[in-house]
Structure 1
């Protein structure tokens, strides 16, 4: 959004691509309401009736399919059916992700690994539920629902090296893979002539994220992955599965309506004082003791507010309150786009930062200042 606004204002050159190359046309994007599908009993595993029927038809015509899910692993969490025990990472405030292939629980933030338990370590029951789904589980479910299809998976687990990545793409290009499941790695840069169907299984997982740029990233991802379908003469089709079909980003993606998305999102940014109308600074404080991090954050906010007033927001505990053994606190500063004000605020932040790091008991605090995060 910010880059496009700068281009519209003449800061950058603006080049518009209004047509696809050659004979290819934009794909049809179909929104499927998952609430309605579950209520009517039309879901088959993770696939709506619409998506399953389209995949069956594509396979019968020897066409290929992409399935997008922006989460690797088998499932995001493991939960005991009896006592609700949920294995957590000892270093981060997140649940461990199940990786069936490796028979491990893994943290995707710090790399911690633990052998996949066969019974609950807290109560001993063997009833353990794998909650949610990632690319690994989707691959398994496709083999059950479409037993005749050749399935491949492209994510960080299967394509850790350049050779492994290229081998998967070569097999897909050679049509040794009918259905390719993947994370963001499949959303851009791929040009295959035989992809007729693209499925997004859980659009809501990308939309509902605590970040003011979440809608922009979602629109980008949906548009990019949709662009993999129908890249030659035959028109492709994209199925977006969602629990909120009326969400504006979903609607704008369906209509290929970048202009509408741009106008709506820009007005929201302006209303709530976000970039590109205001500048932002995000300050993150880290410490191995939660109390020390919270105390340092309160002192910093108090000192900043004396001269910056209500420009200072926080401190707040982020969605993930601990990463790699460090407890986190965040402070946000919104500033007018005035170079003199910005320079004064930056100088004041550095002064306050140094004052805190000179205090007894606070010297080991890590303070990271991120301008325009």
Structure 2
């Protein structure tokens, strides 16, 4: 008997054994998607193994869903590792590697067979079904009853009594290949000339002039014919209809690429490429940290390394931390590699994503660009993975499982595929820096910005800090790369030419103490006096400005001055943010919206005060202070529509705006030649969160946004507004000194045993009731402590209420298992699994989510 081990795409431990019908034997192979019976349902699963054996009770595979395997053996192995390391099921890991919306499964549909039921709840069910005029899917029935979930036990009793019938209805995949009708002329034009109808003749002429099948919609439009005309000609045997699969492409994939720039490499770029060439040519696993300051030309290194991989017939993946960066990155890579570049990200429609994924799997696109999920792209013969801005927390998946870190999955995938993995950053995560320091990763430094043209009087570097500020991955001064030679020879060259080619200096940085500004009564809004003056100077010179305010909306907090009332979300333990454009109060966790009150609902007073400033409020202030300035705002509210990121960046790049104001998405990867000023409206946002990485994230954000200024021929300046000017993250960002910040931060981490000196596994215990959630959290934590007692140096932290204690109606409690780095990850995984098994299935409405290597502790 032919058997298949199948992993259903659900949060259940698998695989499960099925028998293979003879007619499907050739198609049921590892990696194939299949439809299988699972309990009373039918689900999509993936075959992970096949073989001969005996399993008399095994149910048969019902169908094979694709004409070729969806996953390669390489990706199956990777997803198995993801499941084991990140403590999720194999099905959850496989689902993450497949395009969304392709699952085929059954849904339960309830039909009424009776008109009455003796209990009120059952009568309500029958009433809802009668009102619907037919059957209802179980989730829709729950909604009709005003419940979060359907009354399962009641439905079972009603089914047993014959009052309702519950059927399993097969639901087709949401994402399917797009099929369009194309037409060809089946006879010669001379033979078609016998046609008498003018529209028939016109359609025949259009088809005769084409060298290939013509899309029916285009043929009808050009000829003025109708679908009836087509039907008539098909019946006469003069036209043939072909149903062809067509590709749906994302907006950024359609943009015409600019011609590639003729770039001369500077020495650090050349050295980096020379180091990458041997492992690329040998096809050996090689992971390297490419540590280059902002504007040092890391992207050019990516492009040339990828070109070397493509020359050898292999493929590459380029990961970017934000969807907002995808259009800009795609344009640059398509300029070099043309239509060999595909895009994958979650803002694409399910159909677009399926089409791109299918063609990547078929080898039509050897280059894939996208955020974290693109790490699973089914490229053929992987040769390189490029992880840009590797330090970004957005590479970590939070919900649903698997809660993977795309950077670390990229490293593992490259290693398993004998490929190169390049981790690029101006501010590497301390974990990556530690791996480079220990020799686990190779290390390449690019300590200077790309040379630009400077007039002689500006060539001394006095306009900005020297960019030679890197000191290797961890941080000792003796590892510092040798700075470019200077002295008599360079000075002689300066005297001989009015324009010099030298590394662009990093921008000068000024700190504005907001507390001091308020004390001396110079602070009249979100923008300080110094920032306003600097903005006016740039506007006068026709230069551009980027402003970072890492908080969207208008006012983060509204409070009643009379009674102290503050509006809070009923489903989340957070205050509501005012969005002035539509006069609503919004929760930034669950999306709940309420109308803005005109008076306090508690005491009736109309003395409502707005506290704090979001992007909308800063936008309003800019319009008042600089009425002639052209402003673009870039935050989640303005980029929610498809293609909005690309349109805003294109407008700013084309000079249609003077100021780009936004949240952290404006801090990453943007490169605009005329941006000479970057203003950080509030550098303290996020600095004081209860997270051991808060200082690191603040430094990285400030260093990254500072790097948007002065990247080309015009010198740049950065103004940081803060109430904590002496904080180490501010001071080291002021000096562009990554190495000094890392030394400071690592002392703190070492003392507390946090990464990179320790390992962390987090657990989020969630429940609909606060008391039962706390009880479950305590029981699970106690079980974890018992099993972790065998691990030397291990420590269980918690349980403790999450910083945001309630989100979307679920109370949240955190527990963390911490252990020295010397402890194998498998030992922590074993303790967590044992604790989970001891507790068993959580009560209804409760969940325990495991997060290995968490990046946020709040």
Give TM-score, length-normalised by structure 1.
0.95
- Of the two structures, which has the highest relative contact order with CA contacts closer than 8 Å and spacing of 6 or more? 1
TM-align CA RMSD = 1.6
Matches within 5 A, 1:200-239: 200-239=680-719
Match of 1:372 in 2: 853
Quick check: 2:801–2:814 contact (8 Å CA) kept in 1? yes
SS at 1:67 equivalent = strand
SS at 1:268 equivalent = helix
Match of 1:330 in 2: 814
Quick check: 1:287–1:328 contact (8 Å CA) kept in 2? yes
Aligned mate of 2:721, from 228, 234, 241:
241
Distance 1:235 1:335 in 2: 47
Distance 1:170 1:130 in 2: 34
Aligned mate of 2:830, from 331, 347, 350:
347
Match of 1:102 in 2: 582
Match of 1:40 in 2: 520
SS at 1:235 equivalent = coil
Quick check: 2:767–2:810 contact (8 Å CA) kept in 1? yes
Distance 1:227 1:18 in 2: 13
Moved over 6 A (4+): none
Quick check: 1:153–1:180 contact (8 Å CA) kept in 2? yes
Deviates more, 1:42-51 or 1:262-271: 42-51
SS at 1:205 equivalent = coil
Match of 1:5 in 2: 434
How far residue 162 of structure 1 moved from its aligned partner, in angstroms, is: 4.2
Distance 1:167 1:303 in 2: 52
2:649 is aligned with 1:166: no
SS at 2:668 equivalent = coil
- Compared CA separation, residues 371 and 163, structure 1 to 2 (3 A): closer
How far residue 357 of structure 1 moved from its aligned partner, in angstroms, is: 3.2
How far residue 302 of structure 1 moved from its aligned partner, in angstroms, is: 2.2
Quick check: 2:765–2:814 contact (8 Å CA) kept in 1? yes
SS at 1:25 equivalent = coil
How far residue 183 of structure 1 moved from its aligned partner, in angstroms, is: 0.5
Query: Which ranges in structure 2 are unaligned for 5 or more consecutive residues?
Result: 1-429, 453-503
Aligned length: 370
Match of 1:318 in 2: 802
How far residue 68 of structure 1 moved from its aligned partner, in angstroms, is: 0.3
- Compared CA separation, residues 344 and 10, structure 1 to 2 (3 A): closer
Q: Which whole-Å deviations, capped at 9, do the CAs of 1:145-202 have from their partners, x for residues lacking one? A: 1222122101111112343222222221222211211011111121111111111011
How far residue 298 of structure 1 moved from its aligned partner, in angstroms, is: 1.4
Aligned mate of 2:788, from 308, 322, 333:
308
Distance 2:727 2:849 in 1: 35
2:573 is aligned with 1:144: no
How far residue 339 of structure 1 moved from its aligned partner, in angstroms, is: 4.7
Quick check: 2:678–2:706 contact (8 Å CA) kept in 1? yes
Distance 1:306 1:230 in 2: 56
Distance 1:40 1:112 in 2: 40
Q: Which whole-Å deviations, capped at 9, do the CAs of 1:9-63 have from their partners, x for residues lacking one? A: 2222212111112223200011111111111111232122211111111111111
Aligned mate of 2:595, from 95, 115, 134:
115
2:447 is aligned with 1:18: yes
Quick check: 2:761–2:828 contact (8 Å CA) kept in 1? no
Q: Which whole-Å deviations, capped at 9, do the CAs of 1:281-318 have from their partners, x for residues lacking one? A: 11110110100111111122222323435611111011
SS at 1:368 equivalent = strand
Aligned mate of 2:773, from 293, 300, 320:
293
Distance 2:642 2:802 in 1: 34
Distance 2:812 2:840 in 1: 16
Quick check: 2:787–2:834 contact (8 Å CA) kept in 1? no
Give TM-score, length-normalised by structure 2.
0.42
2:706 is aligned with 1:277: no
Distance 2:710 2:828 in 1: 50
Quick check: 1:357–1:363 contact (8 Å CA) kept in 2? no
SS at 1:267 equivalent = helix
SS at 1:15 equivalent = strand
Distance 1:230 1:318 in 2: 41
SS at 1:85 equivalent = coil
How far residue 235 of structure 1 moved from its aligned partner, in angstroms, is: 1.4
Distance 1:63 1:336 in 2: 51
Deviates more, 1:316-325 or 1:170-179: 170-179
Larger Rg: 2
Query: Which ranges in structure 1 are unaligned for 5 or more consecutive residues?
Result: none
